[in-house]
Amino acid sequence: MASLEPLMTVNVTLQMIPLGNTPAGTRLDVPFTGTATSDRWEGELPVDGVDYVTVGKGGIANLDIRARMGEGEDVVSYAASGRMGPEGILEAFTFQTASEKFADLNTAVAVAVGTQEKNKLTLEVFELKR
pLDDT in tens, 26-62: 999 999 999 999 999 999 999 999 999 999 988 999 9
pLDDT at 4: 98
Q: Please state the domain extents for the chain.
A: 3-129
- CATH topology for the 3-129 domain: Porin (2.40.160)
pLDDT at 41: 93
Q: Which residues, 6 or more positions from 87, have their beta carbon under 8 angstroms from its beta carbon? A: none
At residue 113's C-alpha, the angle toward residues 48 and 24, to 5°, is 75
pTM: 0.95
Q: What are phi and psi of 28, to 5 degrees?
A: -130, 140
pLDDT at 62: 97
pLDDT at 57: 86
Low-confidence ranges of the chain (pLDDT < 50): none
- Please check whether residue 129 is in contact with residue 109, taking contact to mean a CB–CB distance below 8 angstroms: no
